[in-house]
Structure 1
Amino acid sequence: MSTRIIALVLACLFGAHDQTARANIIVTLTEGVGGVVNMNISAEGTVDASDSVLPPWFFVIGDPSRDSFLPAEFAGITGSPPAGLSLDGCPANNFFYRDDSTSFSPSNLQSLLGFNLAGPVSPVAECETGLMGELDLSDLNGDYVLPGSSFADFVPGSYTGLSESNGLRVLQNLPPVSLIVAESSSVPTPATVGLFAIGIFGASLAARRRGSAMIG
């Protein structure tokens, strides 16, 4: 075997290994204004949508073994799509989080967080049948707000070893997934900020009146 062939074989082997090692998904949740959930996704690597039984509609992560980032039997919510979130040109249709470990659940996940990215309700015709082919996970990267969510629903902590649902329409064989729920930052609500501003304005006005009286 020539030196050139050996070099090519080594490059393929170590190149593939290096790409796999770098593949990961990190989701960070923080408290936003009014107590909603702010979400940052940092992902790299690829995943093949054809590994799913059917063309997937959903990107889902969760804890298959224990209640972790959501309380046990938490009913959860479904909300409007986070603006800007998409994968392979397919924009999110909604998001949802809940404890999905009940006996009738198709996913058997506890502490589940998911996003509908394709399917018949998609506004993009090419996405109506589902996600297709090799997908670049970095498409998910960005900062988002989960409309109508409540940060108080989540349990602070760092969670690793999360996996995808086993649902038929869920994107399978994701790389290692971690989720970080930051401690509550006690972000003031808009109403609180407004009252604070009114207080400052009132104090300033009173001080100006006292100054005018002293000058007079």
Structure 2
Amino acid sequence: MGVRSRYGDRHSKRKQNIVLNSLIGIVLAVILVLVANIFFFGDSPEQTVSQDQQTAQSDTNEESNSSEDAVTSDEADSEDSESNNSKSADQDSTDEESAEEDKTKEENKDKEKEDKEDEQAEQKPGEPNLEGPWEPVGTSQSKSENHASSYDKGSVDWNEKLRAVESVTGFPPEDMVVHWLGGNGGPQKSKATVSQKGVNDTKYYVELEWVDEKGWKAVSATKK
């Protein structure tokens, strides 16, 4: 009995040692596998795929944002350019209209001047011009608003009145018979009745008006 008991105990311990050694071997094998996965493979494939997808999505978002920013910037530049072009076009149009208006005014002035010159040229020496228009004949008197009309024969003011009458009748004062020259309803207005020497008895009635700094001018004329 004693020998069998000792043999049984020894056999039982050997089995236990085998089991423990097997368990320890399995644990070590699992640890080695885990360590190998960590060192050689890093993160798990699923995590790697997930991270790659996140990175790709981030890059796509950045490209999309960059593209949108570029489009917005291009649109803003386009709007600024169109606005500047529109302002420039408006300014050019305004300048052209202003230049055209100035040109038209100058042309009208030149035409009026030419018309007056033509009318004056049409009046031949000695030929009456009863229709007008008439211009002031000029003056050598003091250019002030205090002009005093004079009816003294041979005075400066008298002679300038006759020059204004000449612009109507067409004949000079030395060929003129002055029947009457006097006031006509105001200190700066006169009226003359004249005829031409040695021609006929035709009389001309001319109303005159003083223009400051420019002299006398005819304002109406008739003949009988």
TM over 0.5: no
More strand by share: 1
More helix by share: 2
Structure 1 or 2, whichever has the larger Rg, is 2
